[in-house]
């Protein structure tokens, strides 16, 4: 039977991917619905459909990639039950940052689509920069998770587990 610590470590792997995927999905949905409306308006006016919208819709998917990277790095640590609580903390903290970063990025992208449609395509660079600010939260969270995995906290947990092992 799995101990609670072991269970937390294994649960963390699913959580980190779940948070990243949920955030990316919400962000893509927010930007994608705005893009569909923008394309409808452009089509109705006889204008060519803007390819810029695709980039704005796709940007929130990067947070799922960041969570996948962290999943790959966390997986070997999840084999040691004593790592469970630390991994759980990483999954909750980093995962929530990734979720909200992706969602906010999509909201900004959706507003950006509206901006581009309403003003003749002006402001794309500013929109991408604003989305990049939201992206930076996801990058900082990923780096923080990696730093924790390589910190003295994880080294001490591994040493303690090795000392207790029969």
Q: How many helices (H) and strands (E) does the chain have?
A: 6, 0
Residue found by looking up tokens 């799922």 in the block: 64
Q: How does DSSP assign 117-155, residue by residue?
A: HHTTTTTHHHHHHHHHHHHHHHHHHHHHHHHHHTSHHHH
Taking CA atoms, 9 is separated from 53, 59, 163, in Å, by 39, 29, 20
Residue 126 lies in a domain: yes
Q: pLDDT, tens digit, for every residue of 88-140?
A: 999 999 999 999 999 999 999 999 999 999 998 999 999 999 999 999 999 99
In a domain, 17, yes or no: no
Structural domain of 67: 22-39+51-158
Confidence at residue 80, expressed as pLDDT on a 0 to 100 scale: 87
Give the whole-number percent of the chain exceeding pLDDT 70: 92
> Has residue 32 been placed in a domain?
yes
How many structural domains comprise the chain? 1
For the chain, the C-alpha Rg in angstroms (whole number) is 20
CATH of the domain at 86: 1.20.120.610
Question: Is the residue at 12 inside a domain?
Answer: no
Instruction: Judge whether 165 lies within some domain.
Output: no
pLDDT in tens, 5-20: 889 999 999 999 999 9
Q: Is residue 51 classed as helix, strand or coil in its secondary structure?
A: coil
Is residue 91 one of the residues assigned to a domain?
A: yes
**Residue 146, both tokens:** 């990696």
Q: Is residue 100 part of a domain?
A: yes
* pTM recorded for the entire structure: 0.89
Q: Any idea what DSSP says for residue 79?
A: G
Does residue 9 form part of some domain?
no
Give the span between the Cα atoms of 83 and 150, in whole angstroms.
Answer: 12
């Amino acid at each position: 039977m799995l101990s609670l610590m072991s269970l937390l470590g294994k649960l963390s792997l699913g959580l980190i991917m779940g948070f990243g995927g949920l955030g990316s999905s919400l962000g893509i949905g927010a930007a994608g619905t705005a893009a569909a409306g923008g394309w409808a308006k452009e089509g109705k006016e006889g204008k060519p459909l803007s390819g810029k919208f695709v980039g704005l819709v796709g940007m929130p998917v990067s947070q799922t990639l960041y969570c996948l990277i962290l999943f790959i790095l966390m997986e070997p640590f999840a084999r040691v039950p004593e790592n469970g609580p630390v991994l759980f903390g990483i999954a909750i903290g980093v995962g929530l940052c990734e979720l909200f970063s992706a969602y906010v990025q999509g909201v900004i992208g959706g507003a950006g689509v509206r901006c581009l449609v309403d003003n003749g395509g002006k402001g794309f660079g500013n929109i991408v920069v604003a989305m990049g600010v939201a992206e930076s939260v996801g990058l900082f969270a990923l780096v923080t998770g990696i730093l924790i995995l390589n910190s003295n906290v994880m080294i001490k947990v591994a040493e303690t587990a090795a000392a207790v092992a029969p």
